[in-house]
């Protein structure tokens, strides 16, 4: 399938874009207008874009059905302050309710049964149920178009963070299983970032891996090892030494009798268990 965005109806394009660029974190944004009326609305066009200064960006798009603007956008143009509250699983249904298109002036905190907590440095309140909230000033609003569906980038500088101690591990880091964040997919689908959905991949921050192109040909062209398997091997800095291979063969003589296919199958098991070193030794035994 090849899609030219200009050649399909907007609703279908929206479905493809939101279904493929996913999962997306959800910003539950509280804002106020010049009269002090509070608005609360979720946005999944949202992410972290800078660490120093700390910058979050969300985008309230123009409504595709009638090309009108959302109350949040109108509010930040009047009062350039927001609180960005992060959504977790135990509040996702309330957040969905807050996304209803209530008339201007209606407080979605009340409609969704969420708790207003006075912010420390900005006018909009934060959401008491959120594990993490960011009090922000709005540095810039960048319109991306004038037609229905066009986004408006709201560039927010974090002035203050509120983190619930209950989601921290023993070292003071965010524990994703306790954080239990929720992300938006396409259509009515959401995803939950906890439990078996969470896995680790070592980050090559300081070392430089060999690369898949540097793997021996018989390993690189394996019918058993997947792209992920080869990626783990290619992330190693060096090949095993002859001494390490000899010691491994002495300690595990049965591995020396394995065929190439059997060696690759055994290596795959080691890789699935996260033992890259043993996977290498099995593969290099010959």
What would the pLDDT profile of 177-206 be if each residue is shown by its tens digit? 999 999 999 999 999 999 999 988 877 767
Q: From the first residue on, what is the mean pLDDT of each consecutive set of 10 residues in the chain (286 residues)?
A: 93 94 97 97 98 98 86 97 98 96 94 98 98 98 93 97 97 96 96 92 80 93 96 92 89 86 94 93 87
pLDDT of res. 202:
78
The 10 Å CB-count burial string (b at 16+, else e) for 180-202 is: bbbbbbbeeebeebbeeeeeeee
Fold classified for 5-197:
Pnp Oxidase; Chain A (2.30.110)
pLDDT of res. 22:
94
Count the residues in the chain.
286
pLDDT tens-digit readout, 107-147 = 999 999 999 999 999 999 999 999 999 999 999 999 999 99
Cα radius of gyration (the chain): 25
Contacts of 253 (CB under 8 A, 6+ apart): none
The ranges assigned to domains in the chain are 5-197, 212-283
d(CA 129, CA 132): 9
pLDDT of res. 64:
79
pLDDT of res. 174:
96
Query: Which alpha helices (H) appear in 32-161, and where do they start and end?
Result: 71-78, 92-98, 108-112
pLDDT of res. 65:
83
């Amino acid at each position: 399938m090849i899609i030219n965005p200009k050649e399909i109806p907007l609703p279908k394009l929206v479905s493809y874009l939101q279904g493929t660029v996913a999962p997306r974190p959800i910003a539950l944004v509280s804002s106020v207008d010049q009269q002090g009326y509070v608005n609360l609305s979720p946005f999944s066009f949202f992410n972290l874009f800078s660490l120093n200064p700390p910058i979050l960006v969300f985008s309230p798009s123009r409504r595709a059905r009638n090309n009108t603007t959302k109350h949040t956008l109108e509010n930040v143009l009047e009062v350039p302050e927001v609180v960005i509250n992060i959504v977790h699983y135990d509040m996702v249904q309330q957040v969905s309710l807050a996304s209803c298109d209530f008339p201007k002036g209606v407080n979605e905190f009340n409609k969704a049964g969420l708790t207003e907590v006075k912010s420390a440095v900005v006018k909009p309140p934060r959401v008491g149920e959120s594990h993490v909230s960011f009090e922000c000033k709005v540095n810039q609003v960048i319109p991306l178009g004038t037609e229905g569906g066009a986004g408006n980038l709201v560039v927010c500088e974090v002035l203050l963070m509120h983190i619930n101690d209950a989601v921290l591990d023993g070292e003071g880091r965010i524990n994703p299983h306790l954080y239990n964040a929720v992300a938006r997919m396409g259509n009515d689908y959401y995803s939950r970032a906890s439990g078996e959905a969470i896995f680790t991949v070592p980050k090559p921050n300081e070392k430089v891996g060999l690369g898949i192109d540097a793997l021996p040909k018989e390993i690189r062209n394996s019918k058993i090892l997947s792209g992920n398997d080869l990626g783990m091997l290619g992330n190693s800095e060096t090949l095993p030494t002859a001494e390490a291979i000899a010691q491994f063969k002495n300690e595990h003589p049965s591995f020396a009798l394995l065929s190439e296919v059997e060696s690759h199958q055994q290596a795959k098991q080691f890789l699935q268990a996260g033992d890259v070193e043993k996977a290498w030794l099995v593969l290099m035994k010959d």
